[in-house]
């Protein structure tokens, strides 16, 4: 199927991009990499009147690590994050990216595009939620910053308004004592996850400072919980993943609330979540402990 007819504009500045969206009066759509949007257009699930191509806006292509943050502009490709030295300062993002589609898709797909698309089974929104990244939204009333955990409003729904551009996202960089874990289960590599988890643990003086766990593919948005108490109790045991299984069973009932489908039942997704969460939390804890001793 072909996309419905639309106008195409390629502004040279961010202000011009916002003006084009205002001119489209709710019918505009931003395109950068197009790896999520183009299939949607081809299936006519979206019929914008105007596509606003932001690839000619120089400031949106910036990638820089500064002040404990990695700032990723709206047109920065996912593949660039995999290879750029400065992006190594956000290990969780680098761990998640190989799970995103395939290399050819990541060569065009953008980090901000995945965030704006807000697929509940996608990896980058889960990373942003786990690290509570900051997102810069620019619209006709100026610029505002939204925390990732407040950005996702549901499946394919975000805090973006019709005339906003997601200009950049800032991820906190790793510190001594930080450890991370990431894994998912999908039917085939490159498919969206049946269930997945991202974990961030910080340790100081042999004490768990915090432990954050984000589940994805199991609800209408990434679901983030603080689990420091669970991890602190399990950390005293010799086999941390096994010790975590029991407490995580209750959490699985809480966070896995998607209905079953032809690929997996709700109960199966809960088992996947429990197993992945126990394993990745244990890994994150071990890495955090090693990092704190360097």
Q: Are 153 and 177 in contact (CB under 8 A)?
A: no
Residue-averaged pLDDT of the chain: 94
Say if pTM beats, i.e. exceeds, 0.85: yes
pLDDT band for position 65 (cuts 50, 70, 90): very high
Q: Which domains are present in the chain? A: 7-53 (3.30.43.10), 58-172 (3.30.465.10), 178-293 (3.30.390.50)
Q: Report the C-alpha gap between 64 and 133 in whole angstroms.
A: 15
- Is the pLDDT assigned to residue 117 strictly greater than 90? yes
Q: pLDDT tens digits for 157-202?
A: 999 998 999 999 999 999 999 999 999 999 888 788 899 999 999 9
- Is the pLDDT assigned to residue 204 strictly greater than 90? yes
Q: What is the mean pLDDT of residues 51-75?
A: 96
């Amino acid at each position: 199927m072909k996309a419905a007819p639309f106008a195409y504009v390629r502004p040279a500045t961010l202000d011009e991009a916002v003006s084009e969206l205002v001119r489209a009066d709710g019918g505009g759509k931003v395109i950068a990499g197009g790896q999520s949007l183009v299939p949607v257009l081809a299936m006519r699930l979206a019929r914008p009147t105007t596509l606003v191509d932001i690839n000619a806006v120089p400031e949106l292509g910036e990638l820089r690590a500064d002040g404990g943050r990695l700032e990723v502009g709206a047109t920065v490709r996912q593949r660039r994050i995999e290879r750029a030295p400065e992006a190594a300062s956000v290990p969780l993002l680098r761990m998640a990216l190989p799970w995103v589609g395939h290399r050819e898709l990541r060569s065009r797909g953008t980090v901000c595009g995945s965030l704006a698309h807000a697929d509940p089974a996608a990896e980058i929104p889960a990373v942003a939620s786990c690290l509570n990244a900051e997102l810069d939204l620019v619209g006709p009333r100026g610029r505002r910053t939204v925390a990732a955990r407040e950005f996702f409003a549901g499946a394919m729904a975000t805090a973006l308004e019709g005339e906003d551009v997601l200009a950049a996202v800032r991820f906190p960089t790793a510190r001594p004592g930080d450890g991370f874990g990431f894994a998912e289960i999908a039917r085939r590599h490159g498919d969206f996850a049946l269930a997945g988890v991202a974990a961030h643990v910080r340790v100081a003086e042999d004490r768990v400072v915090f432990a954050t766990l984000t589940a994805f593919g199991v609800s209408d948005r990434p679901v983030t919980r603080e689990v420091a108490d669970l991890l602190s109790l399990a950390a005293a045991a010799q086999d941390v993943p096994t010790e975590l299984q029991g407490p995580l069973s209750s959490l699985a009932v809480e966070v896995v609330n998607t209905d079953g489908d032809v690929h997996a039942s709700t109960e199966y997704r809960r088992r996947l979540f429990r197993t992945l969460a126990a394993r990745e939390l244990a890994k994150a804890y071990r890495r955090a402990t090693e990092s704190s001793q360097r």
